[in-house]
């Protein structure tokens, strides 16, 4: 028993030390940093750091840019998240359909965007969205629609980024939905059919309820990921036009690593943390109620 404890200590030491020093310590320090006025002068000399209690948070709440960034992030998550989940479910139902052939091929194709490098495909989509030569507007022109300047128009920039995110991410949730669909016992469908339920009723009263836990998992993972929006606007719009695609993480990055206002940036990171925790808690409550 003793030697087992010693062995356990030996096996755990590297990983736990690394996680403690390079994850938990910085997270705790992040809380501490957010109540200081750490800025570029502190970077040169740590003696310049002053404790300022919750002033950073107070400043944030009175800052229009912060609210813009937060609302943009929520817009992206609240519209993009459910849209991604819906497309994922549709894809899973199609790929998993009894009549479908070549399932593994379609599954692989739909999953491919997930493994691609976000920065690189964001660059690709930047050109697909080009107002004159972009393939999206050229396709729309074929249908007689005059496409907008997607990334240059304040109204369309965020929807354009959402579309890219749906394309990039739906395959991930699709795989999880397929796993969920395959776990639904066939007898339930048989019983429903005997009761005279058509395809839609079977979907509504058997498939959807049985997928409850899957929805919860997919919803939480998607929300956590989407609230951390960063690379897409960084590469495609730099937060523009008119700050319409500026996200919370982008604001944190700019304040912290471009202007070195690290105390202020830490407060932004923590606000984001609270939003993520709230989004997770809300979804769990919602699931419990049903």
Partner 1 sequence: MNGESPRVGPAFQPVPSEDRLESLSHTRVHGRAILLHVALVSGAVLTLFPLLWMISASFMASGEATTYPPHLVPHAASFDEYRQLFTRLNIGRAFFSSTVVAVGVTVLSLLFNSMAGYAFAKLRFRGRERIFGILLSALVIPAQVGMLPLFLLLKEMHLVNTYWGVIIPGLASVFGIFLIRQFMLSIPQELLEAARIDGAGELRIYWSIVMPLARPILATLAIFTFMSTWNDFMWPLIVLTDQSHYTLPVTIASLVGEHAQDVELMMAGSVVTVLPVLALFLFLQRYYIAGLMMGSVKG
Interactions with partner 1, residue window 184-243 (CB under 8 A):
214, 217, 224, 227-228, 230-231, 234-235
Judge if the upstream peptide bond of residue 77 is cis by omega within 30 degrees of 0.
Answer: no
Residues 28-47, mask of contacts with partner 1 (x by CB under 8 A): -xx-xx--------------
> Under rule CB under 8 A, which residues in 105-144 are in contact with partner 1?
106-113, 115-121, 123-128, 130, 132-133, 135, 138
Which residue blocks in the chain are alpha helix, DSSP H?
2-19, 25-33, 40-44, 55-61, 64-96, 103-115, 118-128, 135-142, 157-182, 186-194, 199-202, 208-210, 212-227, 231-236, 248-253, 262-289
Decide whether 189 or 253 has the Cβ nearer to partner 1: 253
Say how many residues touch partner 1, by CB under 8 A. 89
Structure tokens at 82: 């459910």
Q: Which stretch binds partner 1 (CB under 8 A): 6-14, 59-67, 72-80, 143-151?
A: 6-14
Give the span between the Cα atoms of 177 and 221, in whole angstroms.
13
Binding residue for partner 1, selected from 53, 64, 99, 194, defined by CB under 8 A = 99
Structure tokens at 125: 């989509």
> Under rule CB under 8 A, which residues in 78-97 are in contact with partner 1?
91, 94-95, 97
> Under rule CB under 8 A, which residues in 241-270 are in contact with partner 1?
249, 252-253, 256-257, 262, 265-266, 269-270
> Under rule CB under 8 A, which residues in 10-29 are in contact with partner 1?
10-12, 14-16, 18-19, 21-27, 29
Binding residue for partner 1, selected from 57, 167, 189, 203, defined by CB under 8 A = 167
How big is the chain by its Cα radius of gyration, in Å? 24
- Does the footprint of partner 1 cover residue 1 (CB under 8 A)? yes
Answer for the pair 212, 226: CB distance below 8 angstroms, yes or no: no
């Amino acid at each position: 028993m003793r030697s087992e404890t010693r062995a356990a200590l030996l096996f755990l030491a590297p990983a736990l030390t690394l996680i403690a020093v390079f994850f938990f310590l910085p997270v705790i320090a992040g809380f501490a940093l957010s109540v200081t006025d750490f800025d570029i002068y502190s970077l040169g000399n740590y003696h310049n750091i002053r404790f300022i209690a919750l002033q950073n948070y107070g400043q944030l709440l009175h800052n229009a840019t912060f609210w813009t960034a937060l609302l943009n992030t929520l817009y992206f998550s609240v519209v993009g998240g459910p849209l991604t989940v819906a497309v994922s479910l549709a894809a899973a139902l199609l790929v998993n359909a009894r009549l479908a052939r070549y399932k593994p091929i379609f599954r692989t194709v739909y999953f491919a965007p997930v493994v691609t490098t976000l920065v690189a495909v964001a660059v690709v989509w930047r050109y697909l969205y080009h107002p004159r030569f972009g393939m999206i507007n050229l396709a729309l022109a074929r249908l007689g629609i005059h496409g907008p300047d997607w990334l240059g128009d304040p109204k369309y920039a965020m929807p354009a980024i959402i579309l890219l995110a749906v394309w990039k991410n739906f395959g991930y949730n699709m795989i999880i939905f397929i796993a969920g669909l395959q776990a639904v016992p066939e007898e339930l469908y048989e019983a429903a059919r005997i009761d005279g339920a058509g395809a839609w009723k079977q979907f509504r009263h058997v498939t959807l309820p049985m997928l409850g836990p899957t929805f919860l998992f997919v919803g939480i993972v998607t929300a956590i990921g989407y609230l951390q929006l960063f690379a897409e606007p960084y590469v495609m719009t730099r937060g523009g036009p008119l700050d319409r695609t500026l996200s919370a993480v982008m604001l944190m990055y700019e304040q912290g690593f471009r202007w070195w206002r690290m105390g202020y940036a830490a407060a932004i990171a923590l606000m984001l943390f609270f939003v993520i925790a709230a989004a997770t808690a809300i979804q769990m409550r919602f699931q419990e109620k049903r």
